[in-house]
Chains A and B, each alone.
Chain A
């Protein structure tokens, strides 16, 4: 039962353009969502998060959008840089009850071409 799904295994964009990574979830009890970035041979690193009471959160080049009715969130990276090339994981939590126990999607490999 895959409660968090990232349907695009890979995405390739040109440097300077926008990268949009998508994530869908099925568990309506999820109330907190996070994006992590992972380079090879390293653990995932936290990028940005959003609470279910918001529909947008911005941090520099990274913006996360949440559409609760569609159970969909997306991560926008503008402008994309070659150093952004990594695997991006969407994660969700029933934060109020379970805290930081996370359910992850399968990941999307982002490649930013110079």
Chain B
């Protein structure tokens, strides 16, 4: 059974650019959550997708958007990148919105 995978592992962008991060959920999981972990902080909830629909959003601006595909993989898009967007982005999948989440290794985004 393959766990949660994320791509790319590392990414460097400049201010104002756009970025897309990808997450493949664990087999059988229909729920994906995205978190942002800034240096020295705990993960912060960005949003959750359940069966291709957004199911809750944290305190992040609209330039953070997402998608979930029919195979339950997911994308996180960030437009107009700012320096403060530099962080580790974690994806977690689960077999429902009330079930244990399994995290991927994350994508390290650096904005210069």
A binding-site residues for B, Cβ under 8 Å = 4, 6, 36, 41-46, 89, 91, 95, 98-107
Known: A100-B97, A101-B48, A106-B42. 20 other contacts (CB 8 A): A4-B42, A36-B103, A42-B105, A44-B90, A45-B103, A89-B43, A95-B98, A99-B96, A99-B97, A99-B98, A100-B31, A100-B98, A100-B100, A101-B33, A102-B33, A102-B101, A104-B35, A105-B42, A106-B40, A107-B42
Given B40, B45, B97, B99, which contacts A103 in the complex, CB threshold below 8 Å? B45
Say whether, besides A100-B94, A103-B45, A105-B42, A44 and B103 are in contact (CB < 8 Å).
yes
B103-A43 in contact (CB<8A):
yes
Given B56, B90, B102, B106, which contacts A101 in the complex, CB threshold below 8 Å? B56
B binding-site residues for A, Cβ under 8 Å = 4, 31, 33, 35, 40-45, 48, 56, 58, 90, 92, 94, 96-106
B98-A43 in contact (CB<8A):
no
Chain B interface mostly: loop
Which B residue sits closest to A90, measured CB to CB?
B42
Complex Cα gap A103–B40 (Å): 15
A44-B56 in contact (CB<8A):
no
A-B contact pairs, 9 of them (CB 8 A): A43-B104, A43-B105, A43-B106, A44-B43, A95-B98, A100-B31, A104-B42, A105-B42, A106-B41
Complex Cα gap A33–B32 (Å): 19
Complex Cα gap A36–B100 (Å): 11
